[in-house]
Amino acid sequence: MKQRKSEIQLAIPESFITKAMASLDFIAQTSKTSIIVSFDETCDISYGQNPPLDSSIKFIFFNPKYYDPEQSFELLKDKWLPKGEGISRFDVIGAIFRLLFLLDEKKIKGVAFKKGFTSFLTNTLPKERQKFVEIPLCDLYVDNFFGKADSSSNGKKKLRVCLTHDVDGPEISTRWEILKSLTKFVLRKEKKFIWSAFKGFHCMLTGERGPFWQFKSWLEKEKLLGGKSAFFFFPGKEVYQKHINDPPYQINHHKKWEVLHEINENGGEVCFHPGIHYKKSGVSFQNAKEKFNALGIDVQGVRHHYWELNWNNPFETFEFQVQSGFHYDLSIAWKDTPGFRMSTCRPFKSWMPKRPDLNHVVIPTAIMDGHLLEYAAMNRDAQINKIKEIAAVVAKRKGVLVLDWHERVFKETPMYPNYGSLYFTALSLLCDEYNVEFLLPGEIYRQTISDYKIHRLLYKINLA
């Protein structure tokens, strides 16, 4: 395929250039077009406040308000606009930057971030931002950037799907799981917790792994649909500062943890599930990498427990990851609802201007089991329809549908009723409707980096 190129002039103040380049880098790689940045006036596109004299050059209006986290915005006809300004003031490059770097989330004030938590519910977002938590506006803007329309296709549409499982508590018999269940039963008086405590105690006495230890079951049933999946493991409390909400287990040389090798051998993928406090420390990632290496497991993917990135600056956390040998992250998601937190469903190479040599890919997650079965009051039909709605958006935008179902919900239990059945029912329906391509996170990473070598931001800047 012929390489597409486009040259853009940046006629903007110097203080905004790096930010604009971050946006253009995303546009280049996700539109499959190499964008050459220049200060020359003879370009295909001009980005500034004054239209070029040559009317054949495409002009994109530069609006500095897009780069101000304190500025209020509103949605008008799919345009993310500074409040009170008309569509003529729309800055598509600024809008993509604003959404990718979560500037509107920085307006959230007064949210009680306690005991290390920084995640929040979507109902605390500015009301205008709440309108499109399920719409990947960045992808829409990219698709329209060069004036290309959505392409139609005959037959089944293609849908890329990535199946993942967070491993938060695989053994029901740990003392912590039993104590937690008893405590919740006393506080909430719900029968499922007393079931969990008694089942855990039974497994403790008998030595059974219990209903939550289901790694092979996931892989075997997914294979029947042509699928494969990744499992995200917490390394253990001795790796870094422990949080009370971190998973209650630690991987070690016990023979039961041979399951990590078995996952790899059976076509799955082992990834890293950092604890609550890990997000702001490079040491935490280094220690975790060493722990996995000591077990002979080469782990490169990450998803943070409770989605606990450093949300004030997630790209700082990404840099800690890649410097420690982790190369892709699947933590970009809303805490409580399906959708697209950075307003994209497309994997992309992280923007690290000080270290462009570092290969790190963001793989956004669209739907978690808890989005549909815990936070939302939905019946089965509504849950299925929501999955299908999100899948249709991802297929249209040629992104990747990343699903996150916790490992311990495979079997039908009083603790997690209908979790596993919803997952496999939805997957079967998607396979019927689409030409589904199942991808592991590592495959998405390699494909994204390979594409980036061809379609990316290039530089032709003359400062003289």
Beta carbons of 304 and 115 less than 8 angstroms apart: no
Q: How many C-alpha atoms does 260 have within 13 Å on its Cβ side?
A: 24
pLDDT value of residue 151: 53
Which pLDDT value is given to residue 1?
Answer: 43
State the Cα–Cα distance between residues 431 and 429, nearest whole angstrom.
Answer: 5
> DSSP character for 306?
G
pLDDT for 108: 79
Q: What pLDDT score was predicted for residue 40?
A: 72
Name every residue whose Cβ is closer than 8 Å to that of residue 334 and which is 6 or more positions away in sequence.
122, 133, 341, 371
pLDDT given at position 169: 93
**Mean pLDDT, the chain cut into blocks of 10 residues (464 residues total):** 77 95 95 87 88 89 97 96 94 98 84 76 94 98 81 77 97 92 93 95 94 97 97 94 93 96 97 96 97 97 96 94 97 98 98 90 98 95 98 98 98 96 98 98 97 82 44
Burial class (CB in 10 A: 0-12, 13-18, 19+), 150: exposed
The pLDDT assigned to 111 comes to 59
Domains delineated in the chain = 5-113+455-460 (no CATH), 158-452 (3.20.20.370)
Residue 357's pLDDT is: 86
Q: Which residue reads 């992808």 in tokens?
A: 139
Paired residues of 349 in beta bridges: 361
pTM over 0.85: yes
Return the DSSP state at 157: P
Task: Give 87's DSSP letter.
Answer: G
